Amino acid sequence: MKRRAQLLGRLEAGSARVCVIGQGYVGLSLSVGVANAGMEVVGIDVDAARVDRLRAGVVDVPGVDQAQALMALGSGRLSFATEADAVAEADVVVICVPTPVANHGPDLSAIVAAATEVATRLKPGALVVLESTTYPGTTEGTVLPLLEASGLKAGRDFALAFSPERIDPGNSKFGLANTPRIVGGIDPSSTEVAAAFYAQLVDSVHTVSNCRAAELAKLLENTFRMVNIALVNELAQLCSDQGIDTWEVIDAAATKPFGFMPFYPGPGVGGHCIPLDPAYLAWQSRRDTGRPYRLVELAMDINEAMPDYVVRRIGDALGDRGVTLRGARVFVLGVTYKPNVGDLRESAAVDVVRRLHAKGADVRFHDPFVGSLQAGDFSRSRSALTGAALARSDCVAVLTPHESYDLDWVVQRASLVFDARNALTGARRPNVVPL
């Protein structure tokens, strides 16, 4: 009780010392937020090159707010390390390491490594929070026993909670502070302490009764998005066959002020979350209930088939003009997973490039965020986006419409534009083929 009161006191006074394990998009954004909230924070990462760059003031982690990061670096409260020594002095330790998918199932090896490392130095009275996205039961079933190997008892000697990261990279409206936080601890005391920590950083904290509810809430959010994208991706295929404009249909439905939320089709889902998190849920359903989570698995299949569908549609559009895909010059605009963000992880556009190349197309690409691209056997540097390059191409495929693109200019120079994202609304011309 005394230790808890001390920690709460330090949190409320802004004098708590924090360690954030993992300095990717999630961990670095958190470290920056903690420093800017007035607390001392050490960002720890096993990637020595990343730590060196951050120490030199180079913030090249896609999606991290540059202005906020520079403010935090300038404050002197944010430092970086490759070793976890600072954990020994930390009041709060937050784990933000990757949780990829391997063999269709969760790969928790980074969580295991980080928790094992934390256990060797954990200070009695500290709070440990897991932020990495994972399936329900990870905090209690995996992290807790690893931390207790320290000899400290969870709940009595240290607090333990799960709080999912929910930020949407590149979203200028919602960031760390104004996106409500979900917090669920292994016991009410852990929840209270973790909520007190996040209250220093965000406007609103929503507590739930346990870690598993918080873990599953995160998976539900991203699975909801993935399933709805699959719904409209399949709708787009139906609409194409029927000669109906998918976006016109979705925008019309979206005029309903209740009970409908618009999602839009595209070449597939990408990024570190939407394609992967539902796989955790599907995997857990099969493992723990023996049943497939049918809707989730079907939606994953539909989205995963979209790059192939896009390639077929590009082939058809070329065929209509008497050009075969094999040997056709295809100029791809935008290869990151979404507009205005320099993140290639799980990008469906990259899969489209790979497939076009595998079918024998002569693929060039431009993306303001990507200097060179490797996808399967495709390996090429970015081409210059010139009128001549567009005019030389048999097809320009708009896969990720970054804001910097002047698409009217593109349409005027290209003989054929395949628009996978309805980026050319209002500029539909006979040479534009929508998804």
Ligand X SMILES: NC(=O)c1ccc[n+]([C@@H]2O[C@H](COP(=O)([O-])OP(=O)(O)OC[C@H]3O[C@@H](n4cnc5c(N)ncnc54)[C@H](O)[C@@H]3O)[C@@H](O)[C@H]2O)c1
Catalytic site positions: 273
Alpha carbon separation from 43 to 54, 97, 430 (Å, rounded): 9, 12, 53
Length of the chain: 435
Q: Is 97 in the site for ligand X (CB under 6 A)?
A: yes
Non-local CB neighbours of 96 within 8 Å, separated by 6+ positions: 20, 21, 22, 23, 24, 26, 27, 30, 131, 132, 165
Size of the site for ligand X (CB under 6 A): 26
CB closer to ligand X out of 93 and 127: 93
Closest to 223 (Cα-Cα) out of 269, 165, 156: 269
Q: Is 138 in the site for ligand X (CB under 6 A)?
A: no
Residue with smallest beta-carbon separation from ligand X:
24
Q: Is 44 in the site for ligand X (CB under 6 A)?
A: yes
Cα(189)–Cα(159) distance, integer angstroms: 7
Q: Is 47 in the site for ligand X (CB under 6 A)?
A: yes
- Name which position in 40, 65, 165, 215 contacts ligand X (CB under 6 A): 165
- Name which position in 10, 16, 18, 27 contacts ligand X (CB under 6 A): 27
CB of 89 to ligand X, least distance (A): 17
Q: In this structure, what are the phi and psi dihedrals at residue 205, rounded to the nearest 5 degrees?
A: -115, 130
CB of 343 to ligand X, least distance (A): 8
Would you say the C-alpha torsion 59, 61, 67, 69 has a positive or negative sign? negative
| Residue 163 buriedness (CB in 10 A; 0-12 / 13-18 / 19+) | buried
Alpha carbon separation from 366 to 96, 212, 308, 401, 435 (Å, rounded): 32, 43, 20, 11, 20
Which amino acid is located at 159 in the chain?
A
Q: Which stretch binds ligand X (CB under 6 A): 106-114, 148-156, 207-215, 404-412?
A: 106-114
- Name which position in 3, 4, 8, 46 contacts ligand X (CB under 6 A): 46
CB of 99 to ligand X, least distance (A): 4
Q: Is 23 in the site for ligand X (CB under 6 A)?
A: yes
Alpha carbon separation from 228 to 6, 250, 316, 337 (Å, rounded): 46, 12, 27, 17
Q: Which stretch binds ligand X (CB under 6 A): 107-115, 252-260, 325-333, 423-431?
A: 107-115
CB closer to ligand X out of 30 and 186: 30
Alpha carbon separation from 203 to 70, 177, 191 (Å, rounded): 22, 6, 17
Q: Is 306 in the site for ligand X (CB under 6 A)?
A: no
CB of 222 to ligand X, least distance (A): 8
151: left (phi over 0), alpha (psi -120 to 50) or beta: left
CB of 165 to ligand X, least distance (A): 4
Asked whether the beta carbons of 72 and 28 are under 8 A apart, the reply is: no
Beta strands 205-207 and 181-185 are parallel
CB closer to ligand X out of 217 and 305: 217
Which amino acid is located at 106 in the chain?
P
- Name which position in 10, 17, 50, 359 contacts ligand X (CB under 6 A): 50
Residues within window 364-403 making contact with ligand X, judged by CB under 6 A:
none
Q: Which stretch binds ligand X (CB under 6 A): 31-39, 93-101, 188-196, 426-434?
A: 93-101
- Name which position in 36, 68, 132, 336 contacts ligand X (CB under 6 A): 132
- Name which position in 17, 272, 357, 366 contacts ligand X (CB under 6 A): 272
Q: Is 211 in the site for ligand X (CB under 6 A)?
A: no
Residues near ligand X, by CB under 6 A: 21-27, 44-47, 50, 96-99, 110, 113-114, 131-133, 165, 169, 272-273
